[in-house]
Amino acid sequence: MNKILIKNIGELLTGRNGSLEILHDKELLLSEGKIESVGKADEFSEEGREVIDAGNSLVTPGLIDPHTHLVFFGTREDEFEMRIKGASYMEIANAGGGIRKSVKMLREASEDDLVKHSLPYLESMLNHGTTTVEVKSGYGLSLKDELKSLRALKRLNEMQKVDLVPTFLGAHEFPDEYRGAHSTDREKYIDLIINEMIPAVVEEGLAEFCDIFTEEGVFTVAESERILTAAADAGLGLKLHAEEFEPIGGAELAAKVNAVSADHLVAVSDEGIRSLKEADVTPVLLPGTTFFLGSDRYAPARKMIDAGLRPAVATDFNPGSSMTESLQIILTIACLKLKLTPLEAFEAVTLNAAKALNRSNSIGSLEPGMKSDIVIWNADNHKQIPYHYGVNNVRMVIKGGEMVFSFSG
């Protein structure tokens, strides 16, 4: 693999001791898909190196999206319109829309269909500067359809450039066939997850994490603990959709089971925040979801930061509650609605997102030894990215030392 020299970097964001530092007039030397060295302007010789001129612009780590539901089939724009007219997300879900509608659509699709359907979304993510994406299953909700989703994901990971981190989310909802009049139906679905799905997923090496929708009306805290404990025993890392609508104790559970992240947290209590801090659980905030659901209630990000937490931010890309591949618009919403500074917002989708995926040693920063996943922006400084919103500010994406996208607009 060639050595690449990125010259004339006007502003460089790179990690130091858990925060991003703003450096000026730098250059980057890449080799073997990794950052070899960060130098001052004109420090390195151009000889024998492929030279990329950054033209005095902003250079950052490739963005990391630590929470998506990218493996779905078919869209749900009708629900978007229903919400505009006043229906809530939970009302739509209880009326058979929402996740269960996506489950119906995904069950009709083949593994090949899922691969084909997902590819353009991944390409769009890459072109918007995202180089690593966590992806959950969770629209199958049967052994066969969850495995189909995760197998499609495995193929997708091998056939395109974005790195995918697979998460098993069989506990996303109770499927229709387990929603009869019998209270034992719930138990049967939970048994299916624990006794059949988790072992099969682990046996085939299809997931790194197990996630669950712990929420009023979905999985209770006690049910969540059973499932997560079984997943941890099987060797999976843990994540939770916690306190998205009601503070039922999902954050405290995340701390108790040593989850890597607790996600959403719109309704988290002060006690919940303290538990997350004590157990070093990374909050993953999804302000695009609050925005897209038309709600005014955003996660208390500043309270979390004041408590010493370092929140990550993600798109939550899914056909119901957040239909965007772009972390750039999410940065804008994170600044305006979570009151993150532009630098905190960048930390949320680089360093902190890497932590939420257990990958702090390889991605999220541009220090020597880290992967050379890099974005060169059409901007002079990082503040211009959330500020110049609703457009693609990316000039070039470098993934593992290879130029994979170059803007030609």
Of Fe ion, ligand NIG, none, which one sits near residue 244, judging by CB under 5 to 8 A according to partner kind? ligand NIG
What is each CA distance from 91 to 88, 95, 129, 227, in whole angstroms? 5, 6, 35, 26
- Pairwise CA distance, residues 207 & 210, whole Å: 7
DSSP secondary structure letter of residue 69: -
Q: Which is nearer to ligand NIG, 102 or 372 (CB)?
A: 102
Q: Judged by CB under 6 A, does residue 318 bind ligand NIG?
A: yes
Q: What is the CA radius of gyration of the chain?
A: 21
Of residues 321, 332, 365, 392, which one binds ligand NIG by CB under 6 A?
A: 321
Strands 261-264, 237-242: pairing is parallel
> Which position's Cβ is nearest Fe ion?
316
Contact 154, 206 (CB under 8 A): yes
Which of 73, 174, 213, 298 is the binder for ligand NIG (CB under 6 A)?
Answer: 213
83-122 residues in contact with ligand NIG (CB under 6 A) are 98-99, 102
Residue nearest to ligand NIG (CB): 320
Report the residue number, 173 or 316, with the smaller CB distance to Fe ion: 316
Identify which of residues 60 and 214 has a Cβ nearer to ligand NIG in the complex. 214
Q: At 150, list the tokens.
A: 């995760």
Interacting stretch for ligand NIG, rule CB under 6 A, among 186-194, 296-304, 314-322, 379-387? Answer: 314-322
- Rounded least distance, CB 329 to ligand NIG, Å: 16
Q: Is 244 in the site for ligand NIG (CB under 6 A)?
A: yes
Give the per-residue contact string, 258-297, with ligand NIG (x = CB under 6 A; - = no).
Answer: -------------------------------x--------
Q: By CB under 6 A, tell whether 224 contacts ligand NIG.
A: no
Q: How many residues at the interface with Fe ion, by CB under 5 A? A: 1
Residue 47: which residues within 8 A CB-CB, separation 6 or more?
Answer: none
Report helix, strand or coil for 397.
strand
Nearer CB in complex with ligand NIG: 14/315: 315
108 versus 306: smaller Cβ distance to ligand NIG: 108
Q: How far is the CB of 98 from ligand NIG (least distance, A)?
A: 5
Annotate 251-302 with three-state secondary structure.
HHHHHHCCCCEEEECCCCCHHHHHHHHHCCCEEEECHHHHHHCCCCCCCCHH
69 binds ligand NIG (CB under 6 A): yes
Residue 241 interacts with ligand NIG (CB under 6 A)? yes
Residue closer to ligand NIG by CB (options 240, 374) is 240
CA 321 to chain centre: 14
User: For ligand NIG, which is the closer residue by CB, 98 or 400?
Assistant: 98
The count of C-alpha atoms lying within 13 angstroms of the C-alpha of 381, restricted to the half-sphere facing its C-beta, is 7
- Judge residue 158's burial from the number of C-beta atoms within 10 Å of its C-beta, 0-12 exposed, 13-18 middle, 19 or more buried: exposed
Q: Is the dihedral of CA 129, 133, 138, 142 positive or negative?
A: positive
Binding site for Fe ion (CB under 5 A): 316
Binding site for ligand NIG (CB under 6 A): 69, 98-99, 102, 213, 241, 244, 289, 316, 318-321
